[in-house]
């Protein structure tokens, strides 16, 4: 979603750098590329440890003693400032046209995002025409069925196995499109299934992804 359907990545960068500026720090693109798509706590650790690397003299600390933040205090400050900006985020150019085209052609579509459900709702509240074609087919990063974020493929596997069917009745156009054996043709998510390989149906799924971490596995 972020950076593909809606132009939110610039908002993240602006808010983060506004927080860092008083400390003479900046989230550069080289840093941002390594945290995009990660769960927020993992992404925050990547950011802070890049800007304030751990000291060999204090191996028990996540960051240098000079770091003025913990993961929790940084996220609290960041999220407070993000909410207002999220409520105004615009669609990416061409995104609505593409989504409407896929719906019109009967192609089953689902949003699979690392964003928490609450943030998803804030970001999409004023983008109804863009997200209405997805209806209930939304998988968010804090879904209780997910225990791992990217680069693990779980959010995409869950979207393929269940997201494409959300809100659909058996025998609906989506079911007819995919076939009754669709779920069985998609690998189960979770670490215990990593060694089993793919089951074949995954080749019918096209994922739109812009984060480097999203191409991990």
The band of 214, judged by pLDDT with boundaries at 50, 70 and 90, is low
Q: Three-class SS string for the chain?
A: CECCCECCHHHHHHHHHHHHHHHCCCCCHHHHCCCCCCCHHHHHHHHHHHHCCCCCCCCCCCCCCCCCCCHHHHHHHHHHHHHHHHCCCCECCCHHHHHHHHHHCCCCCCEECCCCHHHHHHHHCCCHHHHHHHCCCEECCCCCCCCCCCCCCHHHHHHHHCHHHCCCCCCCHHHHHHCCCCHHHCCCCCHHHHHHCCCCHHHHCCCCCCCHHHHCC
115-149 confidence digits (pLDDT tens): 889 989 999 999 999 999 999 899 999 999 999 88
The whole-model pTM stands at 0.77
Task: Give domain limits for the chain.
Answer: 9-86, 95-215
57 pLDDT exceeds 90?
Answer: no
């Amino acid at each position: 979603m972020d950076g593909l359907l809606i132009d939110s990545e610039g908002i993240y960068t602006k808010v983060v750098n506004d927080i860092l500026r008083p400390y003479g720090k900046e989230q550069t693109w080289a840093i941002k590329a390594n945290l995009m798509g990660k769960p927020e706590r993992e992404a925050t650790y990547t950011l802070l440890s890049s800007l304030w690397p751990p000291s060999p003299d204090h191996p028990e600390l996540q960051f240098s003693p000079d770091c003025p933040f913990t993961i929790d205090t940084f996220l609290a400050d960041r999220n407070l400032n993000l909410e207002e900006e999220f409520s105004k985020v615009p669609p990416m150019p061409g995104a609505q046209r593409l989504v409407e085209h896929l719906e019109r052609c009967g192609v089953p579509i689902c949003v699979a995002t690392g964003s928490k459900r609450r943030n998803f709702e804030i970001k999409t509240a004023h983008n109804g025409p863009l997200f209405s074609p997805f209806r209930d087919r939304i998988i968010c990063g804090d879904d209780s069925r997910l225990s791992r974020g990217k680069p693990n493929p779980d959010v995409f596997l869950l979207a393929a196995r269940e997201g494409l069917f959300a809100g659909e009745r058996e025998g609906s156009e989506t079911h007819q499109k995919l076939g009754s054996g669709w779920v069985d043709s998609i690998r189960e998510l979770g670490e215990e299934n990593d060694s089993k390989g793919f089951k074949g149906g995954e080749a019918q799924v096209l994922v739109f992804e812009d984060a480097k971490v999203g191409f991990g596995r």
